[in-house]
């Protein structure tokens, strides 16, 4: 069974990716997860250190997943370059550095430093729904286009654009990113949402809004990947609500070349990667697929 997939110029040993924001800050965790995944995505990194939003920042929802309003806490790129260098020495998976900015030039600067430090690719987080000033990059096709284009002009490594489901038409933004030269699209980031504590009688997040992730958003994410596959020719990384192999296979059939797992790690533990990988292999055996590449976009054929 051939699980390898090509995502732009990168070759992944299997289609699984650790998504941005979940354990994506420490060399030790990257090292532990790397045998099971094709790629690791870091927490989103900005130009300078950010503490993020005040607590509480994560609310677990029974069965559905999580709402988080972290507000992009991160140590800043000047510190993080050492993590990138160290991780590269220790892992057997591609390293995708997620970057964000409040201005286009910040994306360019941070992405440039990530490349210099040895990142295999960058993912532009255009779409964090609870950080005002960042979410906007995914809401306007012209802004998304300009940001991707400016980063592409500077970098040699692949540039992926991470899209928001919180738009009228995700394909319009995806097409703009492709036109700007993006080497791939990651879909989706969390769904803008909120949580009201009935005893406090008010929203729990100081920031009011959070991002919903986990099983509740999976069907929505599959729809986004399916529609993007019809619109663009660049690789798509499907993210949202994968907790078992069926969710991953569904994304691949919809058109994803690789599949990110975030909340699934919280709900199922680190073994989620091994279980999903084994499940994909069994499915391929049962259904007569030799290579994962044969399955990509298969649902469009019927």
Ligand X SMILES: Cc1cc2nc3c(=O)[nH]c(=O)nc-3n(C[C@H](O)[C@H](O)[C@H](O)COP(=O)(O)O)c2cc1C
- The residue (of 5 and 217) whose beta carbon lies closer to ligand X is 217
Q: Does residue 38 belong to the site contacting ligand X (CB under 6 A)? A: no
Q: Does residue 14 belong to the site contacting ligand X (CB under 6 A)? A: no
Task: Tell me whether residue 128 is one of the annotated catalytic residues.
Answer: yes
Count Cβ atoms within 10 A of the Cβ of residue 211 and give its class: 0-12 exposed, 13-18 middle, 19 or more buried.
Answer: buried
- The residue (of 10 and 72) whose beta carbon lies closer to ligand X is 72
Q: Which entry of 119, 121, 128, 256 is annotated as an active-site residue?
A: 128
* 74 neighbors 83 (Cβ within 8 angstroms): no
Closest contact distance (angstroms) between CB of 288 and ligand X is 29
Of how many residues is the chain composed?
302
Q: Does residue 66 belong to the site contacting ligand X (CB under 6 A)? A: yes
The tokens for 103 are 């201005």
- Interatomic CA distance for residues 224 and 231, integer angstroms: 11
- Interatomic CA distance for residues 226 and 80, integer angstroms: 34
Contact positions with ligand X (CB under 6 A) in 209-238: 213-214, 217
Q: Please state whether beta strands 58-61 and 65-68 pair in parallel, antiparallel, or not at all (unpaired).
A: antiparallel
Give the H or E element holding residue 203: strand 202-203
Closest contact distance (angstroms) between CB of 107 and ligand X is 13
Q: Does residue 262 belong to the site contacting ligand X (CB under 6 A)? A: yes
Candidate segments 31-39, 107-115, 256-264, 290-298, binder of ligand X by CB under 6 A = 256-264
Chain CA centroid to CA 32, Å? 19
* Residue numbers annotated as active site: 128
Binding residues vs ligand X (CB under 6 A):
19-22, 43-44, 58, 65-66, 68, 70, 72, 98, 125, 162, 189-190, 213-214, 217, 239-242, 261-264
């Amino acid at each position: 069974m051939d699980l390898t997939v090509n995502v732009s110029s990168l070759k992944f040993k299997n289609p699984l990716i650790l998504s941005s924001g979940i354990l994506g800050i420490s060399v030790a965790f990257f090292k532990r997860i790397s045998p099971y995944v094709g790629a690791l995505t870091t927490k989103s990194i900005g130009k300078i250190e950010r503490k993020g939003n005040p607590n509480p920042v994560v609310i677990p929802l029974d069965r559905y997943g999580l709402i988080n309003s972290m507000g992009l806490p991160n140590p800043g790129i000047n510190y993080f370059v050492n993590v990138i260098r160290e991780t590269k020495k220790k892992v057997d998976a591609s390293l995708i550095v997620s970057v964000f900015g409040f201005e286009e030039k910040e994306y360019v600067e941070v992405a440039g430093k990530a490349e210099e430090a040895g990142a295999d690719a960058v993912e532009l987080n255009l779409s964090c729904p609870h950080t005002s000033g960042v979410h906007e990059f995914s809401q306007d096709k012209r802004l998304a286009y300009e940001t991707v284009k400016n980063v592409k002009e500077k970098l040699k490594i692949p540039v992926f654009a991470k899209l928001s489901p919180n738009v009228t038409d995700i394909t319009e933004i995806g097409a703009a990113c492709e036109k700007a030269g993006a080497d791939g699209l990651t879909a989706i980031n969390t769904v803008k949402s909120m949580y009201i504590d009935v005893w406090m009688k008010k929203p729990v997040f100081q920031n009011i809004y959070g991002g919903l992730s986990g099983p509740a958003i999976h069907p929505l994410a599959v729809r986004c990947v399916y529609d993007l596959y019809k619109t663009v020719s660049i690789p798509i990384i499907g993210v949202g609500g994968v907790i078992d192999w069926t969710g991953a296979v569904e994304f691949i059939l919809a058109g994803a070349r690789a599949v990110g797992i975030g909340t699934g790690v919280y709900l199922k533990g680190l073994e989620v990667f091994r279980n999903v990988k084994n499940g994909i292999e069994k499915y391929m055996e049962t259904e007569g697929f030799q290579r994962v590449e044969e399955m990509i976009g298969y649902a469009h054929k019927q």
